[in-house]
Amino acid sequence: MKIEQIYTKCLAQGAYYIESDGEAAVIDPLRQVSEYIELAKKSNSKIKYVFETHFHADFVSGHLTLAKKTGASIVYGPKAEPEFEAIIAADNQEFKIGKLTLTAIHTPGHTLESTSFLLKNESGEDHCIFTGDTLFLGDVGIPDVAQRYMGLSKEELAGILYESVNNRIKPLSDNLIVYPGHGAGSACGKNMMKETVDSLENQKKVNYALNGSLSKDEFVKELTHNLPEPPAYFPLNVKLNQQGYIDFETVLNKSSNALNINDFEMLSKDKETIILDVRNQKDFINGHIPNSLFIGLNGTFAPWVGTLIKNINQKILLIAPTGKEVEAIARLSRVGYDNCIGYLEGSFSTWKKSKKEVSTLKSVSANSFVETLKLNKVKVLDVRRDAEFENKHIEGVVSLPLSDLYDKINNLNSDDTYYIHCAGGYRSVIAASIFKSKGLHNVIDVAGGFGAIQKTDLNESCYNTQLPCSN
């Protein structure tokens, strides 16, 4: 028996490869399927099934491509209505993979078709459970917005999820290993643990959904309180996963266009095209093409693309580190952004050497920022999430989560100077690039973000209080 978790940090997503006695299965594969095929080839195994725990909203799955390339059958749980050939499993239906057995356990709530898969080992003993977005470590999946328009409210979905978790998963053996669909950082949950594997026994102790600390009504209230609106691309990804999509190889062939400076500049003049700079934030600070949007590959790239680029069919020109162009195209495609039309050959160096206009971003150290804060009344924007801000923030700063920035940017005065910080220095540069593209050029990035600020000598009275900011 072989079980391998294939974890993608950018999406905080776990796919799973299972193998026994010459047969294999994959659970919730990503759109690039070569890794799963190679795993099967190494042991001369045949991929028999592709199991989908639900219609994913935060990424485009690889189920269709993998089935086409291997002849595997796609399996969904009850209530799923895909627009392609698939097995719709009955509740408790069993599937054989070599000497292993996977049992479909219908666990609706995150979505109506959400299904967990219980694996029995060669001896017929319960070994592990793949919970998809039903049960995370320390958390559960939030009610999926794509299904709130099917006559069910978020509260009703949360109540269904409570019953699924407590009636279908909690009664299972403490010895089970829990393999969730996502970890910390995913937008599919609110407060997940950093770990990606745990025992069901421990989850029954630490997970509020399982430990009996909340009644059903309290659970519903907790789960739906301050529930963030999901990014606009979520329903579009659900549609792609339910109806079909283009194979990644086709997207890559279409998008891998190395453009010279003249062609790149000509294409960039199209009002329907954006320039997306995916280099490191320090490189962007030191020099970038005017009005380009920064979202670096070194951070949670794909989710921020989906959050900030509202049109999933947006035409995109890339400024990528040399050698990272294919990675950028692949990571765009993971969330359904298939309309990259090319990249500047030689990256930003080509632009700079051509003597064309270059923009920079002012960035100061946390210490310099704090010294300014002590002496002057300055305008500060905190672009972290609401939960981060509520946990701790500098008194008097304005909370403007990055995800809400486009909706609220018109409330800012272009004549004012704004210091911007996030948690570690990634999101603030994204925010600054948006500000500059909208004509707000008096923005100053605080390098290292709130983490660096907390290491300065800023007095604790300056955090979460009404006291004057002084030592």
Asked if residue 262 and residue 387 are part of one domain, the reply reads: no
Which residues have C-beta within 8 Å of that of residue 118, sequence separation ≥ 6? 102, 103, 105, 126, 128, 129, 172, 176
Going by their DSSP bridges, the two strands 100-106 and 94-97 should be labelled as antiparallel
Asked if residue 201 and residue 260 are part of one domain, the reply reads: no
Q: Is 241 domain-assigned?
A: no
* Amino acid 468: pLDDT: 40
Asked if residue 295 and residue 270 are part of one domain, the reply reads: yes
CATH of the domain at 381: 3.40.250.10
Asked if residue 289 and residue 225 are part of one domain, the reply reads: no
Q: Is 469 domain-assigned?
A: no
pLDDT bracket for residue 466 (50, 70, 90): very low
Q: Is 467 domain-assigned?
A: no
238 neighbors 60 (Cβ within 8 angstroms): no
Q: Is the dihedral of CA 460, 466, 467, 469 positive or negative?
A: positive
Q: Is residue 274 left, alpha or beta, with left meaning phi > 0 and alpha meaning psi from -120 to 50? A: beta
Residue 122 has pLDDT above 80, yes or no: yes
Domain count, the chain: 3
- The lowest-confidence range among 33-42, 77-86, 149-158, 240-249 is 149-158
Instruction: Label residue 35 exposed, middle or buried (CB < 10 Å: 0-12, 13-18, 19+).
Output: middle
Residue type, 325: E
Percent of the chain with pLDDT over 90: 85
**Domain stops at, among 353, 371, 398:** 353
Asked if residue 323 and residue 256 are part of one domain, the reply reads: yes
Round the CA-based radius of gyration of the chain to a whole number and report it.
24
pLDDT bracket for residue 185 (50, 70, 90): confident
Asked if residue 289 and residue 193 are part of one domain, the reply reads: no
24 neighbors 48 (Cβ within 8 angstroms): yes
Measured CA to CA, the distance from residue 131 to residue 116 in angstroms comes to 5
pTM for this entry: 0.90
**Domain stops at, among 200, 234, 268:** 234
Half-sphere exposure of 434 (CA within 13 A, CB side): 25
Asked if residue 157 and residue 79 are part of one domain, the reply reads: yes
Half-sphere exposure of 89 (CA within 13 A, CB side): 27
Measured CA to CA, the distance from residue 137 to residue 358 in angstroms comes to 46
Average pLDDT over every residue of 71-81? 97
What b/e readout covers 416-431, taking b as 16+ CB neighbours within 10 angstroms? eebbbbbbbbbbbbbb
* Amino acid 412: pLDDT: 92
pLDDT bracket for residue 86 (50, 70, 90): very high
Residue 148 has pLDDT above 70, yes or no: no
- C-beta pairs of 390-393 under 8 Å, 24+ apart in sequence: 392/450, 392/463, 392/464, 393/450, 393/463, 393/464
Locate tokens 């606009």: which residue? 232
Asked if residue 134 and residue 30 are part of one domain, the reply reads: yes
Measured CA to CA, the distance from residue 151 to residue 66 in angstroms comes to 33
Taking Cα atoms as reference points, which of 168, 171, 144 lies closest to residue 158? 144
What b/e readout covers 123-147, taking b as 16+ CB neighbours within 10 angstroms? eeebbbbbbbbbbbbbbbbbbbbbb
Domain of 47 in residue numbering reads as: 2-234
418 neighbors 383 (Cβ within 8 angstroms): no
Which residues have C-beta within 8 Å of that of residue 452, sequence separation ≥ 6? 365, 366, 424, 425, 446
Asked if residue 75 and residue 56 are part of one domain, the reply reads: yes
Max Cα distance, the chain (Å): 71
Average pLDDT over every residue of 40-45? 97
Looking at the DSSP bridge assignments, the partners of residue 178 are 129, 198
C-alpha dihedral (169, 172, 177, 179), degrees to nearest 10:
-20
Q: Is 471 domain-assigned?
A: no
Q: Is 239 domain-assigned?
A: no
Going by their DSSP bridges, the two strands 139-140 and 273-277 should be labelled as unpaired
Asked if residue 374 and residue 348 are part of one domain, the reply reads: no
Backbone angles phi, psi at 244, to 5 degrees: 130, 160
Asked if residue 157 and residue 44 are part of one domain, the reply reads: yes
* Amino acid 147: pLDDT: 58
**Domain stops at, among 325, 353, 381:** 353
Going by their DSSP bridges, the two strands 443-446 and 87-88 should be labelled as unpaired
Looking at the DSSP bridge assignments, the partners of residue 101 are 96, 120
Average pLDDT value over all residues in the chain: 94
DSSP letter string, 107-173 = --SSSTT-EEEEEE-TTS-EEEEEEETTEETTEEPPPPGGGTTTT--HHHHHHHHHHHIIIIITTS-
5 neighbors 84 (Cβ within 8 angstroms): no
* Amino acid 395: pLDDT: 92
